[in-house]
Structure 1
């Protein structure tokens, strides 16, 4: 006997990406089913230790940013990043990052200024993923099916069918929907089902990682507490992450050239060397989290009604949680497009924007992560053995390595460019005007209203965040109340496109805004800008809902080419 479940959207994978996708769809009135092969609450991975600012914005919009920010390290535990000769050794440099208590008040540090109401949060996945799961489980628009292994997917012009097995009972289960999204991780079966191929660099580095409990370690560290510690002991390098701020830790041991695999390396010996402790030191291994750093991006993110998001679509070196955070950005891009179509105001063509927008950005961000990883690898394999020597030569060496390390690593921990600098240069839904988007780096971001860029954040009179005042779908920002926007509102209404108008009460245009009107997309990217409405507002509405004619598409792509 086969049990059948149906919903407009089927999601395979109940990790942070799949859960955020379902929650955002639910907020837009779309029902979904999440199929997860593991039991509820079984995920005890400590892979991701950083929720980016952009992801915290997503959590704020979904209504639980404060709940996520309340978990993790103790309130007063510094989120600093340090470089030490060993965990219990000398400190070479420190990148100050505010603790949770001071997150919104300390701004005179590299990570203290963020153009958003939601700066990053250093917290392990162990603590925040259950919040997402509980929210999804309680949402009437979402059905979670744990212990369900999705094995085969078929589709036609109307729907997607997934054949699955209940791993507890062995019973066959059929899932039926209009669309299916694979959020099932790096070994994604859904990626294989649509015959998407991973391309790039298969091995950048190998890391033997150990999640362990050591109640005595914190008191053995001679300098102030830190969230993350790079450990350079000369013959080997590692990275120590504080998990609960008391007794649990994650240690990354970077394998050396010539070390062929994880099993061939003495885990205990390396752990003790990196911590700087002897055989009397007691600890308990909780989990082995060994991983291989890669830079792989699928050659496509979609086959008709089946899409892939997150690690299903891209795998790279897990610095600063780039993989999970970029995956959630994928999901937020796809969610509003799916909802627009399923709610009847977006054409089927609106879905073409997902791959057109996300693939180039994903490829670019993966290269940022890889380039940073290669610089970090080069740094740590060239550490002289004399790094821990006493005397002036040792001190001079530590000072130089500390300075170089600070300049390298501060980029990934104050990465405003990676969060906000990227833009969509070739989208079928954006009205380009010839403006050139600013360049950006991993840590450098220049706010801009060029179509395709992130809508720059503003603090409104009264201290409110602009983002909190935006509508759930399209919002027209008007900086001059004398401009009659009724024709655009009427054109949107005629096409059933949800459009809110937000009057921003300012005496002059705030930087970096250059125009009196700006059309903000549901994902907070700029769709259009101008000082007056276009002569044919219905054509702009057709463009943003995926209904533009080929001629209109060609004209806008021509402007996009000018902007590159």
Structure 2
């Protein structure tokens, strides 16, 4: 079989690996992907949510509109509803617009968000095929399905990898500059570089069943929802609408005293969660049982080999942030690898990946684990009379409904996890003494403190601010009288891509208090000031990874 020379070898063609490939190719990087599955083999039914930050990048990569066109029907509400069972009495509801109203609706706790691309509720069985088709059509991508990475060695100039074609049982040599393991929780790449997952191995167990039940929707009272929480003393669970008509994913959250997936009768549990009797017919399509964990790898890199996504972190998928955090890894790493491959980034620019992403994944995993603990407590405290048609039962339903809303609105409308996280301790971010504002799962404060996400706003010509960003760095200038020729010349002399946006006449958020704000390609602020740096070369060198020996 023909050997391959490539810039970056990606192991795994799930959403993280595909997004990394798309982003690298958009920067002129040649990519090869190895994937053990057949081409277009359906993924597992999981990952029901694409976050706003992820959709922002998909917009810039030209795939957001394709994703918006698939998933649940256009007019299907994305609400989250709490009921005594899926077909039982409604306790409360979190309103979330369906995709047909996603850009226009102002009704709901996530419709005010400062973003050009709101979240999109879509299961991975619809998401991944769109990403795969888009990626496979890009020039610069070589996709090898039914292929397993068997070994690799790192040399001074390149990585020499060996891959096995699972059909022909023949081996292929792949020579690459960088290798990225996006190969899931059991990652062979992570194991090969000696990285170990650390944390809490079991937070909760979930007996998950993918079913086909054509009659179920006709039994549902009131307005349909994307997500149904079932709250009763017998069984608490969650049901997600997959196609909006016949297929559903039923999560049966096992209690702490239920030690394994077979400790509770699956059919009985499904019926208690749905609120149907023994005569109700449904088909089990697949069993998707999973364990919620809080594990973060102790290292994300060994020289020119990196890990991303589930290969580097696993946690309870509250707030839908498992896949989305993995995609954030990919987007952080992509522009750093491109900087190095394009020649303007120094070798040490790659140090920023682990320095930035590892602390964030640790933070998010704790948010998710803490929320899981609250949910476990709530499920154990469901009052026995919650289904009773009495004043006491009505009072219990009212209380549980309010508590369920308050507890869960921050995970389903998680503005903090989308827009609040920031990078500190990075070698390529220039701090100015001000600390970034703290954030929670549900709340954040917009800020231009270096390391924060550049606050979004719409330009007067109708474009998103991010649509106007260039590759590498973008300098936002709010005072055109400032002479930035020295900074531009410094960037040009080091071949650092720098786009200047003059925004003096634009209506901007209050967070923009400085005349100059320098943003990275991944939308994080790298530097800000009211004056041009005294030593522009020192600033540019720091931004491209040169270890600073003088202040910019």
Task: Report TM bin, short chain.
Answer: over 0.9
For structure 1, the residue ranges without an aligned partner over 5 or more in a row are 557-564
Which residue does the alignment assign to 1:314?
313
- What are the equivalent positions in structure 2 for 1:246-325 lying under 5 Å apart? 246-325=245-324
CA-CA distance at 1:260 after TM superposition = 2.2
CA contact (8 A) 1:3 1:172 kept: no
- Tell me, yes or no, if structure 1 residue 357 matches structure 2 residue 359: no
Number of residue equivalences: 552
Which residue does the alignment assign to 2:390?
391
- Tell me, yes or no, if structure 1 residue 110 matches structure 2 residue 142: no
CA-CA distance at 1:71 after TM superposition = 0.7
CA contact (8 A) 1:34 1:144 kept: yes
CA-CA distance at 1:279 after TM superposition = 1.9
Which residue does the alignment assign to 1:200?
199
Which residue does the alignment assign to 2:465?
466
Which residue does the alignment assign to 1:544?
543
CA contact (8 A) 1:235 1:383 kept: no
CA-CA distance at 1:261 after TM superposition = 1.5
**Matched position secondary structure for 1:164:** strand
CA-CA distance at 1:505 after TM superposition = 3.7
CA contact (8 A) 1:50 1:321 kept: yes
How many angstroms apart in 2 are the aligned matches of 1:393 and 1:265?
30
CA RMSD of aligned residues (A): 1.2
Residue-by-residue CA offset, 1:305-334 (whole Å, 9 max, x unaligned): 100000000000112321100000000000
Residue-by-residue CA offset, 1:104-145 (whole Å, 9 max, x unaligned): 222231121111100101111111111110111111111110
CA contact (8 A) 2:459 2:506 kept: no
- Tell me, yes or no, if structure 1 residue 239 matches structure 2 residue 235: no
Distance change in 2, residues 1:45/1:508 (3 Å): closer
The answer to which of 358-367 and 98-107 deviates more is 98-107
How many angstroms apart in 2 are the aligned matches of 1:258 and 1:442?
28
CA contact (8 A) 2:455 2:509 kept: no
Residue-by-residue CA offset, 1:139-169 (whole Å, 9 max, x unaligned): 1111110001112221122211222211111
CA contact (8 A) 2:204 2:256 kept: no
Which residue does the alignment assign to 1:47?
46
The answer to which of 507-516 and 197-206 deviates more is 507-516
- Tell me, yes or no, if structure 1 residue 125 matches structure 2 residue 130: no
CA-CA distance at 1:387 after TM superposition = 1.2
Which residue does the alignment assign to 1:182?
181
Residue-by-residue CA offset, 1:79-99 (whole Å, 9 max, x unaligned): 000111111110100001011
How many angstroms apart in 1 are the aligned matches of 2:64 and 2:507?
32
The answer to which of 256-265 and 344-353 deviates more is 256-265
CA contact (8 A) 1:429 1:546 kept: yes
- What are the equivalent positions in structure 2 for 1:213-228 lying under 5 Å apart? 213-228=212-227
The answer to which of 504-513 and 537-546 deviates more is 504-513
Distance change in 2, residues 1:125/1:509 (3 Å): closer
Residue-by-residue CA offset, 1:330-356 (whole Å, 9 max, x unaligned): 000000000000000001110000001
How many angstroms apart in 1 are the aligned matches of 2:352 and 2:189?
20
**Matched position secondary structure for 1:357:** helix
CA contact (8 A) 2:255 2:376 kept: no
How many angstroms apart in 1 are the aligned matches of 2:274 and 2:508?
54
**Matched position secondary structure for 1:150:** strand
CA-CA distance at 1:69 after TM superposition = 0.9
CA-CA distance at 1:4 after TM superposition = 1.8
Which residue does the alignment assign to 1:503?
502
How many angstroms apart in 2 are the aligned matches of 1:548 and 1:489?
21
How many angstroms apart in 2 are the aligned matches of 1:45 and 1:320?
19
How many angstroms apart in 1 are the aligned matches of 2:381 and 2:43?
35
How many angstroms apart in 1 are the aligned matches of 2:230 and 2:151?
45
Which residue does the alignment assign to 1:139?
138
How many angstroms apart in 2 are the aligned matches of 1:161 and 1:233?
56
How many angstroms apart in 1 are the aligned matches of 2:507 and 2:403?
43
Which residue does the alignment assign to 1:481?
480
CA-CA distance at 1:265 after TM superposition = 2.5
How many angstroms apart in 2 are the aligned matches of 1:325 and 1:256?
27
How many angstroms apart in 2 are the aligned matches of 1:473 and 1:187?
33
- What are the equivalent positions in structure 2 for 1:369-518 lying under 5 Å apart? 369-506=368-505, 510-518=509-517
The answer to which of 106-115 and 305-314 deviates more is 106-115
How many angstroms apart in 2 are the aligned matches of 1:322 and 1:165?
32
Residue-by-residue CA offset, 1:442-474 (whole Å, 9 max, x unaligned): 011111010111111111213321111111221
Residue-by-residue CA offset, 1:454-507 (whole Å, 9 max, x unaligned): 111111213321111111221111111111111111100000001111111427
The answer to which of 499-508 and 358-367 deviates more is 499-508
Which residue does the alignment assign to 1:26?
25
How many angstroms apart in 1 are the aligned matches of 2:463 and 2:43?
37
How many angstroms apart in 1 are the aligned matches of 2:319 and 2:434?
32
For structure 2, the residue ranges without an aligned partner over 5 or more in a row are none
CA-CA distance at 1:508 after TM superposition = 7.3
